[in-house]
Amino acid sequence: MPATQTVPAAARMFLSGNDAVARAVWEAGTRVAAAYPGTPSTEILEILSRYSGLHTEWSVNEKVSMEVALGASMVGARAFCAMKHVGLNVASDALMTMTVTGTEGGLVIAVADDVGMSSSQNEQDSRYWGRFAHVPVLEPADSQEAYSMTLAAFELSERLKSPVILRLTTRICHVKGVVHTGERIEVEPKGFVKDPRHWVMVPGNAKPRLPSMFERESAARAEAEVTPLNFQVDGSDRRIGFVTSGPTFMHVREAFPDAPVFKLGLSCPPPLESLRRFAATVDAVLVVEETEPLLETEMKAAGIACHGKDVLPRIGELAPDVLEPAVKRLRGEVVPEPEHVPPQQVFPRPPTMCVACPHLGVYYTLSQMRNVIISGDIGCYTLGAGHPWNALDTCISMGASMGTALGMDKGRGKVDENKKVVAVIGDSTFMHMGMQGLLDITWNRGNVTVLLLDNRAVGMTGGQDNPGTGRDIHGEETARVDFAKLCEALGVKKERIRVLDPYELPVLFKALREETKIEEPSVIITNRPCVLIDHYQPAKSYTVEEDRCTGCGNCIEVGCPAIHVTRRDKVVKASGKEVDLSFVRIETSACTGCGLCVQPCAPEAIVHADPVQSVQSVQSVQFVRK
Amino acid sequence: MSKITNILVCGVGGQGVMTATEILAEAAISLGFDVKKTEVAGMSQRGGVVTSHLRFGDVVLSPQIAPGEADLLIGFESAEALRWSHMLRPDGVALVNSGRIVPPVVNLGLFDYPEDPVAQMRALGLTVHAFDASSLAIQLGNIRLGNTVMLGACADRLPFPAEALRDAVLARFGTRKPQLVDANRGAFEAGRRAVAGEALAATES
Ligand code: SF4
Ligand code: SF4
């Protein structure tokens, strides 16, 4: 349980970008910080929750987290919210109007783009939001800057009375570097000032505020031309001058130490006049920006000739090994053959579900069903799309399993009329955005069977608490959602709601078969916890009795990573049909005895292991939670 | 620019790749180096591929090691070491745990595990020191010590004294569970000796 701890004193620290942001948010005297977990931004709030002197929370979704931050700002407190890039899509409704009201207490929005897509469903460029919402965007290049720019963002926010976006990327959030930190200042909230013309955004009040939004943007533009956050690094090799921001600054400096560089820290609004002057001092300009050609387009529109996506990729990170050959080609030089060994072909190692994961039973059951369309969602259970289950047909955005399932049900033609539509969603995703979709299913009489996998954690991001766990960000007890009651309140008939144990395969199978037959909305709630959370209780582990194993391979279909094939064979059946055999063993030290694989094993070859063998059930072969 | 040391640690989610790199980083920090460390985490925690890059020197700019630039490749799992062998400088050194973690896609018969990843790396002309760190750790009483065994194995190939790394290892485990200090000291030295070619029997005492 993350108890509130004393914050380490100012020092030279080795911090990730997320750590550094958290530290600076705390030092800035922030009173309220909120977030919904999302890679790569999750750790910011996790770290902040251990600090004292401020309210921290996991909010149910990013939009709520932003509104919580805005409310705190309205009463004059410094406030903060953090999210991953797709989270800002969700929160944008709040953003697009808070830019009209402006803010009181400094309000900083950290948004982390997953450039390179290590753990996301898309790759998008959050710098656009600065332009769209007319708010300043700061882009740190490493942990030290993440720290100092967070402090600068609060100051800027209060001076301009505007929210400020702190744009991070995976290569900032998860990179550790040396940071010199300071101490917390206390900022006393000025208090709420009742002023409907400021805070009640009806057309009559909002219209007169629009000019102030643009005035503020002009002020930010003027500031961008003079701020020390935007600076130039001189260089002797003037063939190409680089314009860059964020982590690519470091990559450019690494790859081209002698080249002049214009580095943007306050990148929105862009300092176009400074960039024009810079461009005049070099032979050619190359804009190095990850994903979208945003600055490049703005510079070209301002009449500043530059290269950008004509030579650089639009996808993924622009690390030195990507930049070097591209720049060589631009200069008309030959790109030398690499001297190192070429990349070797090795089997893929996709992420998979954990040993004894409660989702295994669900996906095993779904994989055995015919004629189903399975609408999926965002979370660990997206892994059900992989081997051996191949039991997930769609995955779009948080909560989308509900709406897409309903749309499929309503839109299907003759070819699909005999198919069952199933939606699969996790507990936290359900509360984030899924429950509105379920309401839409019941209200519009959808024929959808919803599998609500309640594993009492936000599993994918490391097992954070949510309203279904009955614990807050500090692990302390609070109100707990009752999913069965909630689904009933959303209009699902009481008899169409079942709560069951996902380790009992026959029960699960029967429930799914029955509920998919009945032509009305139904919800099957599974009730066993994520194996990575502290409350998980391992049971006695299993082993395979070699002489009893017939090699049928049924247990492999469960997909538990503790089951390994020892030997393959082929036999010709009496019918003349050739069948493949796979004999198995169970990594007993990894098996936590969930009993799933025991059930499809007809010859009862899977038995409890000798207790002496099963010493450390959580050995490090895989899946040990830090 | 002064020489930067590049270390790439690779393995499988859950093996402790990130913790090991963190400890290496702490040792470098304690000696006053500028240090940057980066990894691809996220979904890799679920049994996927994990790599962690560590760079240290006077001033480190980009946190990422480019292909062909790693001075040291520490492979916590053999096939993973092979997967990342193109990251090694032609004159670099690979320290490889010859232990294997077979993924479900291989168990399902969809892909083959390479016959001998270490031999394959050597055939590419790379300098590889390999030993079964997983078995060694189990013999020492806990597979989790594999992490420390691997750190011990690289201790004599760093541009700073092995003791700095050992202190960082012990500091990390000592604060959490003091009783683990001795076990980790033993594992560290066992790894050091194993890579120096000593038989495991000699390490038992
Ligand atoms: S009982 Fe079977 S499915 Fe469950 S953890 Fe053990 S090996 Fe995996
Ligand atoms: S299900 Fe039973 S018989 Fe079939 S492969 Fe697995 S252990 Fe062997």
In this structure, the answer to whether residues A182 and A239 fall within a common structural domain is: no
In this structure, the answer to whether residues A453 and A549 fall within a common structural domain is: no
- Indicate which CATH number applies to the domain containing A449: 3.40.50.970
In this structure, the answer to whether residues A74 and A218 fall within a common structural domain is: yes
In this structure, the answer to whether residues A24 and A159 fall within a common structural domain is: yes
Q: Is B192 on the interface with A (CB under 8 A)?
A: no
Tokens representing A21? Answer: 């942001």
B189 to chain A, closest Cα gap in Å:
20
In a domain, A560, yes or no: yes
Mean pLDDT of chain A: 92
In this structure, the answer to whether residues A516 and A605 fall within a common structural domain is: no
Residues with CB under 6 A from ligand 1: A 355-356, 542, 558, 560, 562-563, 586, 591-597
Tokens representing A501? Answer: 């144990």
Q: Higher model confidence: residue A461 or residue B160?
A: B160
d(CA A34, CA A26): 13
In this structure, the answer to whether residues A125 and A189 fall within a common structural domain is: yes
Residue from A34, A75, A31 nearest A54 by CA: A31
Inter-chain residue contact A338 with B25, CB threshold 8 Å:
no
SS3 A408: helix
Other residues' Cβ atoms within 10 Å of the Cβ of residue A122: 11
The position carrying tokens 């063998």 is: A613
pLDDT at A295 over 80: yes
Kindly tell me the burial class for residue A464, based on how many C-beta atoms sit within 10 Å of its own C-beta (0-12, 13-18, 19 or more): buried
The rounded percent of chain A whose pLDDT value lies above 90 is 82
For residue A581, give the ligand 2 atom closest to its CA.
5
Q: What value does the mean pLDDT take over residues A502-510?
A: 95
Q: What value does the mean pLDDT take over residues A461-486?
A: 89
Provide the pLDDT confidence category of residue A351 given band limits of 50, 70 and 90.
confident
In this structure, the answer to whether residues A180 and A307 fall within a common structural domain is: no
pLDDT at B143: 82
Q: Is B13 on the interface with A (CB under 8 A)?
A: yes
Give the pLDDT confidence of A81-110 residue by residue, as tens digits: 999 999 999 999 999 999 999 999 999 999
pLDDT at A620: 32
In this structure, the answer to whether residues A489 and A563 fall within a common structural domain is: no
Eight-class DSSP state of B48: -
Q: What value does the mean pLDDT take over residues A452-469?
A: 82
Provide the pLDDT confidence category of residue A4 given band limits of 50, 70 and 90.
very low
Q: Higher model confidence: residue A606 or residue A535?
A: A606
d(CA B14, CA B49): 10
Interface test with A, best of B12, B21, B22, B38 (most A CBs within 10 A): B38
Provide the pLDDT confidence category of residue A389 given band limits of 50, 70 and 90.
very high
CA neighbours closer than 13 Å in the CB half-sphere of residue A562: 29
Inter-chain residue contact A319 with B104, CB threshold 8 Å:
no
What single letter denotes the amino acid at residue A418?
Answer: N
Strand duo B34-40 + B49-57: pairing: antiparallel
Among A432-436, A491-495, A585-589, the minimum mean pLDDT is found in A585-589
Provide the pLDDT confidence category of residue A383 given band limits of 50, 70 and 90.
confident
> Quick one: which H or E segment has residue A19?
helix A17-27
Secondary structure E strands in A17-87:
32-35, 55-58, 79-84
CA angle A267, A271, A276 (to 5 degrees): 130
Nearest CA in chain B to A589: B143
Q: What value does the mean pLDDT take over residues A165-175?
A: 95
In this structure, the answer to whether residues A518 and A557 fall within a common structural domain is: no
Question: Which residue among A225, A243, A268 closes a domain?
Answer: A225
- Cβ contact A144:A179 at 8 Å: yes
The position carrying tokens 């399975």 is: A374
Other residues' Cβ atoms within 10 Å of the Cβ of residue A417: 7
Question: What residues make up the domain containing A431?
Answer: 359-526
Q: Is B142 on the interface with A (CB under 8 A)?
A: yes
In a domain, A579, yes or no: yes
Inter-chain contacts counted by CB atoms under 8 A, chains A and B: 198
pLDDT at A303: 98
Kindly tell me the burial class for residue B53, based on how many C-beta atoms sit within 10 Å of its own C-beta (0-12, 13-18, 19 or more): buried
> Which mutation among A554, A585, A588, A607 tests ligand 2's pocket best, with the greatest number of atoms within 8 A of CB?
A554
d(CA A354, CA A402): 25
Inter-chain residue contact A380 with B19, CB threshold 8 Å:
no
pLDDT at B43: 53
| Interval between CA B160 and ligand 1 midpoint (Å) | 45
In this structure, the answer to whether residues A145 and A236 fall within a common structural domain is: no
pLDDT at A415: 95
Nearest CA in chain A to B66: A321
d(CA A128, CA A85): 11
In a domain, A37, yes or no: yes
d(CA A69, CA A94): 11
Q: What value does the mean pLDDT take over residues A132-145?
A: 97
Q: Phi and psi of B28, rounded to 5°?
A: -65, -40
d(CA A619, CA A589): 6
Give the pLDDT confidence of B140-187 residue by residue, as tens digits: 888 888 999 999 999 999 999 999 999 999 998 776 777 788 889 999
Residue from A622, A618, A554 nearest A352 by CA: A622
Nearest CA in chain A to B52: A175
A307 to chain B, closest Cα gap in Å:
22
- Indicate which CATH number applies to the domain containing A321: 3.40.50.920
- Cβ contact B57:B93 at 8 Å: no
Q: What value does the mean pLDDT take over residues A226-234?
A: 97
| Interval between CA A608 and ligand 2 midpoint (Å) | 14
In this structure, the answer to whether residues A268 and A381 fall within a common structural domain is: no
Q: Is A422 on the interface with B (CB under 8 A)?
A: no
In this structure, the answer to whether residues A364 and A490 fall within a common structural domain is: yes
Average pLDDT per 10 consecutive residues for chain B, totaling 205 residues = 86 90 94 90 70 95 94 96 96 94 88 95 95 90 89 94 94 77 91 74 39
Give the pLDDT confidence of A65-86 residue by residue, as tens digits: 999 999 999 999 999 999 999 9
**Domain count along chain A:** 4
pLDDT at A591: 94
Q: Which domains does chain B have, with CATH numbers?
A: 5-204 (3.40.920.10)
Top mean-pLDDT range of A7-16, A112-121, A563-572:
A563-572
Q: Phi and psi of A389, rounded to 5°?
A: -80, -45
d(CA A539, CA A516): 32
ipTM comes to 0.90
Q: Is B40 on the interface with A (CB under 8 A)?
A: yes
Inter-chain residue contact B104 with A352, CB threshold 8 Å:
yes
Question: Which residue among A493, A526, A559 closes a domain?
Answer: A526
Q: First vs last Cα of chain B: how many Å apart?
A: 46
In a domain, A537, yes or no: no
d(CA A610, CA A608): 7
Q: What value does the mean pLDDT take over residues A426-432?
A: 93
In a domain, A486, yes or no: yes
pLDDT at A599: 96
Question: Which residue among A184, A202, A225 closes a domain?
Answer: A225
What single letter denotes the amino acid at residue A125?
Answer: D
pLDDT at A249 over 80: yes
For residue A548, give the ligand 2 atom closest to its CA.
3
pLDDT at A611: 58
Q: Higher model confidence: residue A591 or residue A620?
A: A591
In a domain, A354, yes or no: no
Kindly tell me the burial class for residue A452, based on how many C-beta atoms sit within 10 Å of its own C-beta (0-12, 13-18, 19 or more): buried
Residues of chain A neighbouring B106 (CB-CB closer than 8 A): 347, 565
